[in-house]
A and B are shown apart, each in its own frame.
Chain A
């Protein structure tokens, strides 16, 4: 497996970002069912799409930098 030059605390930082993104995406997805305003809903959906990409990237980075 290709290893990045990463220390433990860098991995932890990525891990924290991953958790934050996961919660944000869930919140935005949930809020879409509650809002009345369709412009706001469109922005929430945009956030979900962005977060999903970010989560995919972060998953890759966290796996790659995991201390063996």
Chain B
């Protein structure tokens, strides 16, 4: 798919606030996927750190064995995520200039999204759920 070759930096100029206009959604799949992949990568990284920290605090052999297995699985998963992100052009660990450019553009896009009225009106949908105690 061609969008994979055009990640966030494919966005041309400032984002338009009219997010319902189909023309303004160009480059959105790459934007969404690269953002979620980055979130996923950071989660995996935190998981590895948490497992390692827990290992330094736990003495019990059985618990240590289990957490050791967990840590190894997490490290493998982290490697796979970063490899996928490199293949898709969302992550450039060997090309710092490119990574900086990408991060600045995506930060800008995120700031613009944060200024949008994405969920206007009252978002309490309690009436549509079974909530007898509310």
Interface-facing stretch out of B15-23, B63-71, B103-111, B123-131? B63-71
CA distance A35 to B32 in the complex (A): 7
Q: What mask results when residues 52 to 90 of chain B are scored 1 for a CB within 8 Å of chain A, else 0?
A: 011001111011001100100110010011001000100
Interface size class of A (residues with CB under 8 A): 20 to 34
CA distance A28 to B3 in the complex (A): 22
CA distance A20 to B54 in the complex (A): 12
Q: Does B10 have its Cβ within 8 Å of any Cβ on chain A? A: no
- Known contacts A4-B63, A16-B50; A43/B4 CB under 8 A: no
| Interface contact B84-A13, CB-CB below 8 Å | no
Contacts of A65 in B (CB 8 A): 60, 63
- Max count, chain B CB within 10 A of own CB: residue among A6, A17, A21: A17
Majority DSSP secondary structure for residues of B touching A: helix
Contact of B60 among A10, A21, A35, A43 (CB under 8 A): A10
Contacts of B32 in A (CB 8 A): 34-36
- Known contacts A4-B63, A47-B77; A31/B57 CB under 8 A: no
- Known contacts A35-B33, A37-B88, A43-B77; A20/B50 CB under 8 A: yes
Residues of A that sit less than 8 Å from B by CB: 4-6, 9-10, 13-14, 16-17, 20-21, 24, 27-28, 31, 34-37, 39-40, 43-44, 46-47, 50, 54, 57-58, 61, 65
* Additional A-B contacts beyond A14-B58, A47-B77, A65-B60 (8; CB < 8 A): A10-B57, A10-B58, A10-B60, A16-B54, A24-B43, A27-B43, A35-B33, A35-B36
